[in-house]
Amino acid sequence: MTFDYDLFVIGGGSGGVRAARMAAEAGARVALAEEYRMGGTCVIRGCIPKKLMVYASQFSENFMDAPGYGWSISGTPRFDWSAFMANKDREIARLEGLYTQALQTAGVTIFSDRAIFADPHTLFLLNDERKVTAEKILIATGNRPTREMGTTHIIPGGDLCITSNEVFHLETMPKRVLVAGGGYIALEFAHIFHGLGAHVSLVYRGEKPLRGFDDDMRDAVLESMRARGLEVLLGCEFTKVQRRGDQLHAETNHGAVIECDQILLAIGRQPNTDALHVEKAGVELGMKGEVVVDDYSRTSAAHIYAVGDVTNRVQLTPVAIHEAMCFVETAFKNNPTKPDYGHVPSAVFTTPELAVVGMSEEKALGMGHSVDIYKASFRPLLHTLGGRPVRTSMKLVVDAKTGQVLGVHIFGDHAAEIIQAAAVALRLGATKKDFDRTIALHPTAAEELVTMRTKSYSKAPAG
Ligand code: NDP
């Protein structure tokens, strides 16, 4: 049987674009369908515009702290939301263009269209109203923010709230913002709006945000948020949201009614599989609608693969790109390659940042390691003259028997920049002695990682 293409990629996000480009460069005839904008969540409505908003939000503190360094700022600095949004949109459009160009240069055929399965080797293009066939198919459709708010039932009024899709297109800056959730997106946008001058309340159902992160770091983030003036409501959920005039009113399980301009739901994401008709191709979905894949990103249909957020493995751009490259090795270079999920660094872009690589203390203990814990907390030099009462926290989780560093955790300025290099060390199996032997780079915050000599405590796994 002959096919129109060797590979058809559904979805033009980080994973899909990388797979399409590399497969084409390896000599395959490749097509890619993207129904919205090239670049996917990361470029269009995720990592990149979010980071630009983080940068915008951090100027306010710099202005406030500048007099400590001898600067005088006449008048009150003003933030122009429209000007910023226009500049941000221009940059996103530029990046989108680069993605498209890279695909074209590699010889990938692009369909600005929604592709759905017609049968195991055939896709139907909805706008074009035509079918195309491919020998292999890659599902890289990503995920989207969920609106299914409420632990026990979906609450009324969820459609009045925005998600991280809409937040990048608000025409005016909200002055009072409620953020629901306690994960990456909730905390990042809570800090962004706070930094831009809004009154922010975080509404989180658990006892402290960032479940899954090291407990000490979660405490440090919570303390920092409250010290900065962010309101954090814990054990709290909306029961109802209503519009009254220009305002939204959110009723909570605490019996409060909170009035605000916008409510941002950041309560998780769901895979984009519902309208794909994967059943026509024999592709199995999991409980959350994710595409179920094996260690090589292969679905239950042997010629169909899936990478990135749609598989609900690790929801991070570099991981999707890694999975895409492994897929091309496996499917087009006769070199079966499993994605390696060891030592994936990650960061929550709060102000300051929380960055981590490796295990939390709780995870290490849960996996049977006896641990030695090293902690440092200090006032960063930058803030001595600036006068801001913030502290940086660092923590090393070390295997007590082997001395291997199992986890590095940093909550402080530039933590994400620092953790990338620590990830290399952990990947190479660095021990605490290796850290100690490394000469410090002075004066930096990062030097603390190699100068922590005194053990804070040791712990053995329970039982
Ligand atoms: P997360 O899974 O990180 O957080 C979801 C939050 O919503 C949790 O606090 C969860 O609470 C809460 N929640 C879930 N369901 C409900 C509900 N029904 N009612 C109320 N609260 C609820 O999801 P995000 O959407 O923030 O981010 C998705 C993923 O995207 C992240 O896990 C991350 O992998 C990636 N991401 C990475 C970023 C980065 O690298 N900087 C930035 C943004 C996203 P609970 O803890 O109790 O379950």
- Is the distance from the beta carbon of residue 349 to the nearest atom of ligand 1 less than 6 Å? yes
In single-letter form, the type of residue at position 220 comes to A
Pocket perturbation via mutation, ligand 1, pick of 146, 148, 184 by most ligand atoms within 8 A of CB: 184
**In whole angstroms, how far apart are CA 376 and each of 20, 218, 354, 394, 404?**
45, 15, 14, 5, 18
Would you place residue 157 in the very low, low, confident or very high pLDDT band (cuts 50, 70, 90)? confident
Residue nearest to atom 13 of ligand 1 (CA): 267
Between the CA of 63 and the centroid of ligand 1 the distance, in Å, is 31
Q: Is the CB of 288 under 6 A from ligand 1?
A: no
Model pLDDT, residue 150? 64
Mean of the per-residue pLDDT values of the chain:
96
DSSP string, 343-385: T--EEE--SSEEEEEE--HHHHHHTT--EEEEEEEE--THHHH
Whether 347 lines ligand 1, by a CB cut-off of 6 Å, is yes
Centre of ligand 1 to C-alpha 231, Å, is 19
Give the pLDDT mean for 223-233. Answer: 97
Residues 235-255 have a mean pLDDT of 93
**Has this prediction a pTM greater than 0.95?**
yes
Q: Is 442 tagged catalytic? A: yes
Atom of ligand 1 nearest to the CA of 211: 46
pLDDT for residue 155 is more than 80: no
Q: Ligand 1: distance of its center to the CA of 444 in Å?
A: 32
CB-based contact 176:260 (threshold 8 Å): yes
Q: Quick check: CB of 111 below 6 Å from ligand 1?
A: no
pLDDT at residue 463 in the model: 76
- Given this model, what pLDDT does residue 445 score? 97
pLDDT at 148: 78
The pLDDT confidence band at residue 73, using thresholds 50, 70 and 90, is confident
Ligand 1 center from residue 316 Cα (angstroms): 12
Whether residue 345 is predicted with pLDDT greater than 80 in this model: the reply is yes
Q: What atom in ligand 1 is closest to the CA of residue 47? A: 42
Mean pLDDT on 142-157: 80
**Amino acid identity of 64?**
M
Determine contact, residues 139/116, Cβ cutoff 8 Å: no
Supply the pLDDT for residue 156.
81
User: What would the mean pLDDT of 107-118 be, rounded to a whole number?
Assistant: 98
When pLDDT is cut at 50, 70 and 90, the band that residue 419 belongs to is very high
User: What is the pLDDT at residue 177?
Assistant: 98
